[in-house]
Copies of this chain bind each other. A is one copy, B any other.
Amino acid sequence: MPRQEVSISDIARAAGVSHSTVSRALRDSSLISPQVRAQIQQLAREMGYTPNAIARSLQTQRTKTIGVVVTSIADPFYGDIVKGVEAVTRAAGFSVFLGVSHNDPFQEMQVIESFHQRRVDGLIIASSRITGSFHSRSDRLHIPTVLVNNQTEAQEAPLHWVAIDDKRGAMLAVEHLVQLGHRSIGYLGLGNRPRSNRLRLEGYRQALVQAGITPRPEWIRVVAHDQESEPDDAGLGRQALPELLDSDITALFCYNDMVAIGVLLACRDLGIAVPQQLSLVGFDDVITASYVSPALTTVHQPKLQLGQLAAQTMLDILQNRPVENHLLFPSLIVRSSTASL
């Protein structure tokens, strides 16, 4: 299937003028009279001419595109983040393209490389897993980059970021359970979200200690995805619950809503009543959290705002304005999966 693009030469031939006259008219050059410019632009539209952004970007060094890397497009969490990014970048005349990393540092780097080869003006990376040796490569790319909820522990890279306060979110969840009278409270974490998992675990411990409770090792499980299998947070939650039930927990704080939903399914299988026998708190406030029964009590992340701020930060970088990083505060949404002991 050959491309039959309308070229500037085609328009020049049809108009009976030179190639450079058409080129100038299409670039709105003042060397061409307004009337001739309008006529040539009209003709170009009628002939279906599309400016070649690739050729144009070689001249301007700007492509007016932002590459956004998400770990999954099956997770509703990223839907809102991308919506926020799009709202801000589109208003500024940028196109947004997405690439999927599947929460795998190698695939993430591949997506970044191909965005780089396409010369995007900037990169917004959600839940980045790039670490160590990747960073030195990433540094060389020299593409303005904003991280959303970075999962990398290494801080050497001079990148910009927006993030949720994971530790504070975890404290909100555990304080809520303590107020309901729970004393034996578990944590079910995910090892492949290293940074936020560590911070949520810290918040969990600190809230317990502040309540005079010493967390016991058997209350805590951090599970990891099998490298070979497709990540599925709900499946992990479902598998992990039985072992936690061997401890004396009456409440469980889960790394995120999808893990909590997996736990809910395991409870359904095992005949455990939620919240009567086990109170459950998630994190993220994805839409699915309100669909399950009982609806999940959870820590709300302002996802749309995270996306908007990431995009605004990117525009600030590209326009050489002062740039600030943003740490956002979560809030607690109390629904039906938690109850007094």
Listed in ascending order, the chain A residues whose CB lies under 8 Å from chain B are 1-6, 48, 50-55, 57-58, 61, 63, 65, 67, 70, 72-76, 78-80, 82-83, 86, 95-100, 111, 113-114, 116-119, 137, 140-144, 234, 261, 264-265, 268, 287-288, 291-293, 317-318, 320
Contact = CB atoms under 8 A, between A and B. Distances in A.
A118 B65 contact: yes
A241 to B, nearest CB: 15
Given A48-B140, A53-B118, A291-B288, A80 B86 contact: no
Given A97-B98, A100-B98, A114-B95, A234 B78 contact: no
A292 B141 CA distance: 44
9 contacts: A53-B117, A54-B63, A74-B79, A95-B111, A95-B114, A98-B98, A265-B291, A268-B293, A293-B293
A100 B90 CA distance: 12
Contacts of A67: 97
Given A53-B114, A86-B100, 17 more contacts: A1-B142, A3-B142, A3-B143, A6-B140, A50-B113, A53-B117, A54-B54, A54-B119, A58-B58, A63-B118, A73-B73, A73-B78, A74-B287, A97-B99, A118-B118, A291-B291, A292-B292
A99 to B, nearest CB: 6
Nearest to A141: B50
Contacts of A78: 73-74
A61 B117 contact: no
A98 B73 contact: yes
A335 to B, nearest CB: 12
B97 A1 contact: no
A83 B231 CA distance: 12
A293 to B, nearest CB: 4
Contact of A50 (B53, B63, B96, B116): B116
